[in-house]
Structure 1
Amino acid sequence: MKKLLNGLALSLLSLSAFAQPRLPKGYYWDSLPNGLQVVVIENSKVPLATIEIAVKNGAYTEGPEYSGLSHLFEHMFFKANKDYPDQEKFLKRTQELGAIWNGTTGDERVNYFFTFAKDSLNAGLHFMNSAIRFPIYRQEDMAKERPVVDGEFQRNESNPYFQLWYNINKKMWGDLFTRKNPIGDHHIINTATPEKMMIIKNKYYVPNNSLLVVCGDVKKDDVFSQVTAIFGSWERSDPNPHLKYPIPEFPPLTHTDYFIKESSIAQTPFIMYEWQGPDTRNDSAATLAADLFSTVLGLNASKFQQALVSTGLASYASMSYQTEKYVGPIIITLVPNPMKLKECVTTLEQQIALMADENYITDEQIADAKQVMRNKIRQEEKPSALASELTYWWCSASLNYATDYFSNIEKVTRQDIQDYLKKYVVNKSHIAGMIINAEMNKTLKPADYFKPAN
């Protein structure tokens, strides 16, 4: 009976996961019997088509022994497969199709896309099918690509902002740090094997963990027909990978910690504060308030900018929130005026303490921020980018969340923002770090004042 009930629960979960979502005008959704979800976006502004596939994979699926390998896998995607058995043939085919192509790896999504003339739609779908379903991991290809991926890591390490972010997040996430670090680990990247690539493929690269989006000068019925013919035989995973390999819950941060890191590449100090914020599984309303409040703080008229940048205490100050399904981070980034470092730190702490006050932001600023957010999305709205935007929301929220995003942003009130700040930021445990060179550290003595309040 227990097995029967568990099976029924999984079946109901599957049905609910594939319920017809709400979508904007011109967007059309379907699901193949194997669980592959498909969205067609009809947009005839230019005679092009974009095919993008997204997989719920990335840092959050990686224990220490796989740290960075979702990113390496992304690079290997553009190498060899059964139809194009070496990279030279793969690249030649992209040239024949006139394709622009790329991929990205984040915390909760790995995505790949090709953009080409609309007349190449069928050929493009076949090309994507070969790459996503039938990769070949050759030792010689991996030997070439491992240093490329590790080179990205090394270039990041030459950036003081990255060094600070990296050290803060090691403290923030503890034993689960690898699940918030897409760039990975040098040793794991440089010792990766074809066998590990195949393990990732078999775990996560299955139709019922993927979303295929076709956007551009296309017709939905034609696309659905072609996708069914080409991808319909892709074998699903039962149960879904995220039921079979559940993501561990990130434990709440229970203490506040400050640190100072010396680095010769920090020509000027950088300061970063980070909190554990809301996520779309447990508090989707607060994710909207977080986005809106961050936008308010970016306004020149905000008290935050007036206190820190307009006074000359800092050359840059921002607050950001990253929407995620598993604990989105809230980050304040500050580039202080070195000659006013102590005053800058004191003022920043005062601003954080005031953020949840009723009069910290105005109704006019909230309205302005909502308009800024609407304008920003319109400026970035081009056919080839629509697919990527949608797959991000699908992986870290839902299609309904994406469709309702701006209508729900309009509903966010000052009280919603105050509730968010009281729950996640003001007087809450956080990690704060400063990166500074040795000479400035010796002269300015930030350890005397860059520390938790008593």
Structure 2
Amino acid sequence: MTGRSLTLKALALSLVVFASSVLPVAADTTGKASIEDFSKIRIGGTDVSQSTLDNGLQVVVIPDRRAPIVTHMVWYRVGGADEEPGKSGLAHFLEHLMFKGTKNTPEGEFSKMVAQVGGQENAFTSQDYTAYYQQVAKEHLEMVMGYEADRMSNLILTEKQVNPERDVVLEERSQRVDRSPAARLSETFDQVLFPNSPYGIPVIGWKDEIQSLNKDDAIAFYDKYYTPNNAILIVAGDVTSEDVLDLAKKTYGKVEQRAEPGPRDRPHVQIVPGNREVSLQSDQVAQPSLQHGWIVPSSTTAEPTESEALEVLSDILGGGVNSRLYQELVIEGEMATSAGAWYQSTALDDTRLILYSSPKDGVSLEELEKKALSIVNDLLENGVTAEEVERSKRSMLASAIYAQDKQDVLARIFGTALTTGGSVDKVQTWPARVAKVTPEQVQAVAQKYLTETSVASYLMPAAQAENVE
């Protein structure tokens, strides 16, 4: 499967464990919690550890002893944006092929064993990483570590396996993209937003390039990137750092380095002057929608404080029902059925901030867009209030305390950050950095990045196309 990066802001929606174990705030006094309390949260708690095996494998352990289960993940620092020109979709294609068996393990046996012990497994590919995970009872951790270590070094592929799986990927593209007007428009939008960057190429790949992928392509990609010195092992759950490290040495420690992938050099994301537009009309579209996108720095490429200010900016602008876009477009203006904004902070290169909305019946996209952009312009000119900034931070705090946490989400937060230039410490200290964001910093990043060099997209029913110039 393909996937987007998980932003650090998303952790506030899934990490009650940290607040309950680290933050000294009782459930009935959350409303009185200060921003200072928020800043004291360390994501993952105080027992998170990291180490590196002799073969270069990075090991991160996140103890969580509330239930006797573990989430085991292996992350590779390679994704769609690392592919050679003309080989789009190769990272995702190899993800599929990694389930085809090894010289020690017949095809399907790994998945069968995980299912037999009541576990779950999956894999996903993004522009910047590929990851594989299993969630099992803790007594089965050594088993999945052994299987995954075997898969890291002993993959065997045949033409009889590769060719049918390529057809599976082509059908996946057909169903998810080619038959979906919204997905097709999204591909075009990304191409225009990132004209000289591999971020403008879909992770699943272009159809004609998928059709040309073969066994040799997959093996070469595997040998170059699926080596322990390019991987991160993350284990979250009812474990100790010592036990995990011992098991890692016993299993992954036997895997030899096969290559040195080298630096992840990519074309610099270039901002093209002027506003650009893309649109798609289709009889399949029942609800029109629009979005605007701006190139902004990620947590990796940003200057100090900028990424955190962009997090708060996106939350104030469109992070929920109390945001400016939602209040003025949906509640007060009664112009839209939905409205919001989001910022993809975790990326190896410059990334995006997106504004989106769908109009109510009788409201044109042109009218909705004009009002939405006026809200942005008001923020640029007049800034945000201290109350808005405090509310945004307090909202993140409340979510961190009350939202139902998930072990696998926690592992994904660390994995996403570590494969996109971040560190364990940077993940853990995110609340402290956000807590320091000021209204002036929010307005500064808005004025710097929400300029007229945006890309707009319009998804329309065929009959409405004439209403948008």
Shorter-chain TM-score range:
0.7 to 0.9
- Counterpart for residue 321 of structure 1: 343
Q: Secondary structure at the match of 1:356?
A: helix
- Kept in 2, the 8 Å contact 1:319–1:332? The answer is yes
Which among 388, 401, 413 is matched to residue 426 of structure 2? 401
Name the count of aligned residue pairs: 420
1:246 equivalent to 2:269? Answer no
- Counterpart for residue 307 of structure 1: 328
Which among 134, 137, 142 is matched to residue 117 of structure 1? 137
- Counterpart for residue 413 of structure 1: 438
Distance in 1, matches of 2:224 and 2:189, equals 30
Distance in 1, matches of 2:89 and 2:397, equals 34
Q: Secondary structure at the match of 1:136?
A: coil
1:77 equivalent to 2:98? Answer yes
1:132 equivalent to 2:155? Answer no
- 1:23 deviation in Å? 7.3
Larger CA deviation: 309-318 vs 278-287 = 278-287
1:35 equivalent to 2:60? Answer no
Q: Secondary structure at the match of 2:86?
A: helix
Distance in 2, matches of 1:352 and 1:290, equals 14
1:352 equivalent to 2:376? Answer yes
- Kept in 2, the 8 Å contact 1:39–1:214? The answer is yes
- Counterpart for residue 14 of structure 1: none
The residue identity in structure 2 corresponding to 1:356 is: L
1:257 equivalent to 2:281? Answer no
Q: Secondary structure at the match of 2:362?
A: helix
Provide Cα deviations, 1:205-251, integer angstroms capped at 9, x if missing partner.
12222110112111211211121122223233664x242x5222222
- 1:352 deviation in Å? 2.1
- 1:178 deviation in Å? 5.6
Q: Secondary structure at the match of 1:433?
A: strand
The residue identity in structure 2 corresponding to 1:272 is: Q
- 1:380 deviation in Å? 4.5
Q: Secondary structure at the match of 2:233?
A: strand
Which among 355, 376, 379 is matched to residue 399 of structure 2? 376
Q: Secondary structure at the match of 1:80?
A: coil
- Tell me the TM-score normalised to structure 1 length: 0.86
Q: Secondary structure at the match of 1:112?
A: strand
Larger CA deviation: 375-384 vs 309-318 = 375-384
Equivalent runs, 1:113-262 vs 2, <5 Å? 113-157=133-177, 158-177=179-198, 180-236=201-257, 239=260, 241-243=261-263, 246-262=265-281
Distance in 2, matches of 1:343 and 1:384, equals 42
Question: Cα 1:86–1:238, aligned 2, differ >3 Å: closer, same or farther?
Answer: closer
- Counterpart for residue 340 of structure 1: 363
Question: Cα 1:130–1:307, aligned 2, differ >3 Å: closer, same or farther?
Answer: same
- 1:164 deviation in Å? 2.4
- Kept in 2, the 8 Å contact 1:49–1:117? The answer is yes
Distance in 2, matches of 1:172 and 1:207, equals 34
- Kept in 2, the 8 Å contact 1:216–1:384? The answer is no
- Kept in 2, the 8 Å contact 1:42–1:218? The answer is yes
Question: Cα 1:222–1:104, aligned 2, differ >3 Å: closer, same or farther?
Answer: same
1:90 equivalent to 2:110? Answer yes
Which among 267, 274, 299 is matched to residue 286 of structure 2? 267
Distance in 1, matches of 2:404 and 2:91, equals 27
Distance in 1, matches of 2:419 and 2:201, equals 15
- 1:195 deviation in Å? 0.9
Larger CA deviation: 205-214 vs 281-290 = 281-290
- Kept in 2, the 8 Å contact 1:105–1:111? The answer is yes
- Tell me the TM-score normalised to structure 2 length: 0.84
Q: Secondary structure at the match of 1:103?
A: strand
Distance in 2, matches of 1:63 and 1:281, equals 23
- Kept in 2, the 8 Å contact 1:59–1:179? The answer is no
- Kept in 1, the 8 Å contact 2:298–2:344? The answer is no
- 1:174 deviation in Å? 2.0
Distance in 2, matches of 1:205 and 1:321, equals 30
Distance in 2, matches of 1:271 and 1:436, equals 9
- Kept in 2, the 8 Å contact 1:22–1:399? The answer is no
Q: Secondary structure at the match of 1:334?
A: strand
Provide Cα deviations, 1:159-208, integer angstroms capped at 9, x if missing partner.
33322221111112224346652121112223321111112112211222
Distance in 1, matches of 2:175 and 2:397, equals 34
Distance in 1, matches of 2:224 and 2:336, equals 47
Q: Secondary structure at the match of 2:382?
A: coil
Provide Cα deviations, 1:356-403, integer angstroms capped at 9, x if missing partner.
2334x3222222222222343452422233212210111123222211
The residue identity in structure 1 corresponding to 2:445 is: Y
Q: Which has the higher contact order (CA 8 A, sep 6+)?
A: 2
Question: Cα 1:374–1:395, aligned 2, differ >3 Å: closer, same or farther?
Answer: farther
- Kept in 2, the 8 Å contact 1:178–1:184? The answer is no
Q: Secondary structure at the match of 1:65?
A: coil
Q: Secondary structure at the match of 2:380?
A: coil
- Counterpart for residue 452 of structure 1: none
Q: What is the identity percentage for the equivalent residue pairs of Structure 1 and Structure 2?
A: 23
- Kept in 2, the 8 Å contact 1:62–1:178? The answer is no
Long gaps (5+) in structure 1: 1-20, 448-454
Distance in 2, matches of 1:423 and 1:308, equals 24
